Structure 1
Amino acid sequence: MGKGTSHIIRAFVSLAMAGSLMCATAGCSTDPLTGTATTSPSATTAASTGHVALFLPSNSPNLSQNVPLNNWNTLNDSLENALSTDGFSGKSMNRETSGSLASQSDALKRYVQERLNADSKEQYGDPQTEQGATTIVIAPAVRLDRNYGEYSHFITTPNQEPSDQDSSDTDSDESSSMRQIADSLNKAKNAGMHVVVLGNPIDGFVPNVYVPLVTAADIGRMQAQQIVSKLDLDAVSESNPKAIEVLLPNTDPSGKNNSFQAQAFEGIWEVLGPYFRQRKAYSPSQRLSFFTTKSDYKDVMFKATKDSQIEDELKSRLETKGRDAAVRIDGILAMNDFTAAASIKALKTMGYSGSSMDVNPSITIFDVVGNIAGRKPLNRQRVPDPAQSGDESAQPSQTTKTDSKQWPIITGFGAYISDIPNIVNGLQWMTGLVDVHANTGTIAQIALQLNRKEKLSNIAELKTSDDYGSEIPTLHMTLLAVSAANLKAALIDPGYISLADADM
């Protein structure tokens, strides 16, 4: 072997060793099929998280006097914390909150234009590179009328009907803003950015990941399922059915916007309908029956712009002409905590006593207090029927002087802090809300995986769905049903509320 050849070989070996050293430092490995070096995802540093831009609505001060625990400020803060936990630095996060679609579309347009200009690419990195990788998380700042705001700010609102709160000019402005948002997002995606859309789909744009929020049907279905579970309707006989009333409040001052109520009742009747048809449940007011369909929401809907209207509605359904008589009621599906609180007032006025925990004698108010303080667990047993007689062939009586004044279970949604004590003392059986911390933790993981170009299939909560209108990865929000038995674990331990909020 000549000296020239020897020098060449030594030079090649030196280069190979240097390349191996650099690859090891960077966390590289060799692809056995191609022989080329690849970067291991596990070796990426905090700097390789890329960037994330949040475009979320702000809380609306005029939405409702009753503020549900689920609001945009809470989700904003929780998402930032989750992103920080996953390694995103403050400098790599951009947060814009908007009170309207117009301001949101303008903010998004400015951000995308800035990121795509030459100076920005030099500062932040090209979006198609690891350093400049960017995920935009956006929830369109659509208007929510009070029909929606009593429940949660995280509502997907398809095809809202116009009401006196709306105007054609405003509708036109929102349509224009949505088109501008779609245009900006398409430019961002074409430049290599990733997009996660929360809530309402955006016409003319398809995101990388879709996160539909809560629907009216979800809220109604959830409470109906809790009614079925707590009253053990599957074990109920036709000769001794349960008395159930569904309260469907309409807080639109004009009374014209019924889309929320229609969707909610579909979810309710999907669950309760079979039990009414099997005559395992009945409505004391006869608003619901064997013949009710999912389209008959108006039979249980009423105007509820103030609590006195709710009290009057329930009294009209339960009061009888007999002075000492009262109508037996086992369960009230109140839809939200505002309606539940007014129902509690009405029941007290009519002489009902006890608590929902009396439906299950194994749980007392003292047991619940002990559980919240962390002293003892609570165990559920099968629900007894306080009104059941020894003769199972006897037809149910709607009015008696004693059993019919027993306190029913009442369901709601929203987890209003002001009404949490009603959960603790059992006057309200349960409330519901979106598990914000669980969902924001998953959204943060999605942003990280997208920026690192890792497989989204690694995230178990993501499922392919056509909810958006096309088959894309979809994250369905996790809902929490909260009663006194799990209030500590569901709300206090994660930091949603304090012991003081629970009136402890």
Structure 2
Amino acid sequence: MTSHGGPLVRRLTATAVCIAMTCALGACSSSTSSAGGTDATGAGTGTATTDPGSVAIFTPSDGVTISGNTPLNKWTAFVPELTKALRNRSFPKKSISSSTADSLDEQSRDVQDYVVDRISSKTGSSSSDTTIVVAPVTDPDDTTRQYGDVVSHDGASDATTDDADDETAADRLTSALSLAKENGMHVVMLSDTVPGVVPDAYVRMSTAEAIGKVQATKLVDKLALDKVSKDNPKYVEVLLPYSPDTSGEADDTSATDGSVTGGEAFAAAAFKGVWSVLGPYFASGQAVSLSSTLTSDTTADDWRDVAFVSGKEDTVRAELRGRLGLDDADAKAGTTRIDGIIAMNDYTASGVVDELSDLGYTGSAADINPQITISGIVENITGRKDLVRGKVPDPVKAPSASDGSKDAGDDAKWPIVTGYGAYVDAMPRIVAGQQWMTALEDRATLAEDTAQTCLRLNTVDGNGWRKGLKFLTTTKVNGKNTPTVSVDLLAVSASNLKTALINPGYISLADAGL
């Protein structure tokens, strides 16, 4: 019997090997060592080899958002980027494999088969030149999917173990990865983790908290909130879409200790990121909420105050009308002043932009503390010279109608709208200044750093593989300090859309509506 037998044979072999492991309680040795030297990047200590070894990549199949829009944060985009980065680091094409799975059950079987095949084909020799890269399959709700597929899912471990089949799949994946490590292979986890496995390295991708924080930061910068007077504050709303837990467990738990799971946990973490930036401005009175959903007494735990059940685009539009006090469905209620709207993702931002247009708001976010005109933005994207405008400071006190200083058109000025996901359909809105910014993973840098990590793991023994990798930080994974790859989110507005998205080939000029 060889490793090239059918799936049933491989899985029976896997079961036998796992049982033997359990009985031996770690009798297997995990790695071999040899003379020290330098690896392909020139770092000292550990083992030097000329063969970079093998990398096997396991990712989820890309999900489908409830809208027709397509975010750039997709596994089908990241895996080719990682493969390219590995090839650039001298990994032969035949030494790189990748597979996708629709379910955790399917993925756990794929990983198990690979590990058993690898062990069987290398009997009596080391497997330390092999790295398994796994992004565990999760089951996010429709709202969380609006942020894209390449995102860490808070509460994901709960989402993947809701029934006996999922628990079996999770156990199988844990056993397969543990077996791999016991036999000297290396494990790199992408985005999420699995219980009971401490990987050699963890690649942290978008977190809900980071998604909220980057939008709030860009809104603060664009509104120049640091220079705003409390006598002339900025009006800001946070629209936080979420899908309520349907099991009833989250509601029961949150009533006593505030804990939540799944999509509710994602929304709660996203608001925590927003409030870590916006909170001080509401406390000082420099920012206020027209709807009073946010006040100086709001805390990071009050996410439900700004949350709404996400569904169709009409749900977003109705929520915005209510926040603005313009929810008279029978008549055009006109406009009221609003300076900034954090929409959380590009799907929600699309509904916000459409509703603002229908309500009669005009202009563009480029007119707020302007640094560049819309025509300058277009010329910048198409390769011509920028047209720069100087900022005009806001008055210390708010203009009033009584002294004639208030322009009747002030209430209809277009606000700043933020989103996330870099949906292709959002690009023309960003060029036009209707949506001020979006954000996404810097997947090229993530791929490069992950590829370098794989190379080091395969070619340098012990902890020496970390030496000189300045991009590595440390986080706890399943209670253990773990080397972590992380890259700041890439914030994109019209002014840097060309350099951030068009030049690297993420989108085309046609995608941007040019």
- TM-score (normalizing by structure 2): 0.82
- 1:355, CA displacement in angstroms? 0.2
Distance 2:317 2:499 in 1: 32
Name the SS for the 1:352 alignment partner. coil
- 1:341, CA displacement in angstroms? 1.1
Distance 1:228 1:495 in 2: 29
Per the alignment, do residues 71 and 171 of structure 1 end up closer, same or farther by CA in structure 2, a change over 3 Å counting?
farther
Which residue in 1 is equivalent to 2:466?
A: 456
Residue 353 of structure 1 contacts residue 407 of structure 1 at CA under 8 Å; is this kept in 2? yes
Name the SS for the 1:49 alignment partner. coil
Distance 1:177 1:37 in 2: 40
- 1:335, CA displacement in angstroms? 0.5
Which residue in 2 is equivalent to 1:181?
A: 173
Do structure 1's residue 292 and structure 2's residue 298 form an aligned pair? yes
Which residue in 1 is equivalent to 2:141?
A: 145
**Which of 346, 350, 355 in structure 2 is aligned with 1:341?**
350
- 1:55, CA displacement in angstroms? 1.0
Which residue in 2 is equivalent to 1:411?
A: 418
Per the alignment, do residues 65 and 160 of structure 1 end up closer, same or farther by CA in structure 2, a change over 3 Å counting?
farther
Distance 2:215 2:225 in 1: 14
Which residue in 1 is equivalent to 2:361?
A: 352
Q: How does 1:23-62 map to 2 (within 5 A)?
A: 39-42=37-40, 48-61=51-64
Q: How does 1:38-117 map to 2 (within 5 A)?
A: 39-42=37-40, 48-61=51-64, 65-117=68-120
Per the alignment, do residues 173 and 384 of structure 1 end up closer, same or farther by CA in structure 2, a change over 3 Å counting?
farther
Distance 1:485 1:88 in 2: 37
CA RMSD of aligned residues (A): 3.0
Q: How does 1:99-248 map to 2 (within 5 A)?
A: 99-117=102-120, 119-121=121-123, 126-128=126-128, 133-159=129-155, 171-248=163-240
Query: How many residues were matched structurally?
Result: 455
Which residue in 1 is equivalent to 2:481?
A: 471
Distance 1:395 1:288 in 2: 28
Name the SS for the 1:426 alignment partner. coil
**Which of 324, 328, 331 in structure 1 is aligned with 2:340?**
331
Distance 1:174 1:401 in 2: 59
Distance 1:126 1:181 in 2: 22
Per the alignment, do residues 325 and 181 of structure 1 end up closer, same or farther by CA in structure 2, a change over 3 Å counting?
closer
Residue 240 of structure 1 contacts residue 395 of structure 1 at CA under 8 Å; is this kept in 2? no
- 1:409, CA displacement in angstroms? 0.6
* AA in 1 matched with 2:180: A
Which residue in 1 is equivalent to 2:506?
A: 496
In structure 1, runs of 5+ residues without a counterpart are: 1-35
- 1:177, CA displacement in angstroms? 1.2
Distance 1:255 1:372 in 2: 48
Identity %: 41
Residue 127 of structure 1 contacts residue 192 of structure 1 at CA under 8 Å; is this kept in 2? yes
Structure with the bigger RCO (C-alpha within 8 Å, sep 6+) is 2
Residue 196 of structure 1 contacts residue 207 of structure 1 at CA under 8 Å; is this kept in 2? yes
**Which of 250, 263, 266 in structure 2 is aligned with 1:260?**
266
Per the alignment, do residues 57 and 378 of structure 1 end up closer, same or farther by CA in structure 2, a change over 3 Å counting?
farther
Distance 1:441 1:109 in 2: 27
In structure 2, runs of 5+ residues without a counterpart are: 1-33, 249-262
Which residue in 1 is equivalent to 2:7?
A: none
Per the alignment, do residues 380 and 330 of structure 1 end up closer, same or farther by CA in structure 2, a change over 3 Å counting?
same
- 1:94, CA displacement in angstroms? 1.6
Which residue in 2 is equivalent to 1:20?
A: none
Residue 239 of structure 1 contacts residue 392 of structure 1 at CA under 8 Å; is this kept in 2? no
- 1:185, CA displacement in angstroms? 1.1
Distance 1:253 1:207 in 2: 30
Per-residue CA deviations over 1:136-190 (Å, capped at 9, x if unaligned) read 111101112112110121222232598xxx898x533222212111111111111
Per the alignment, do residues 102 and 160 of structure 1 end up closer, same or farther by CA in structure 2, a change over 3 Å counting?
closer
Distance 2:354 2:296 in 1: 30
Per the alignment, do residues 231 and 216 of structure 1 end up closer, same or farther by CA in structure 2, a change over 3 Å counting?
same
Distance 2:135 2:392 in 1: 42
Distance 2:241 2:402 in 1: 31
Residue 357 of structure 1 contacts residue 365 of structure 1 at CA under 8 Å; is this kept in 2? yes
- 1:113, CA displacement in angstroms? 0.5
- 1:478, CA displacement in angstroms? 2.8
Residue 253 of structure 1 contacts residue 305 of structure 1 at CA under 8 Å; is this kept in 2? no
Find the structure with the greater CA-based Rg.
1
Per the alignment, do residues 494 and 423 of structure 1 end up closer, same or farther by CA in structure 2, a change over 3 Å counting?
same
Residue 144 of structure 2 contacts residue 242 of structure 2 at CA under 8 Å; is this kept in 1? no
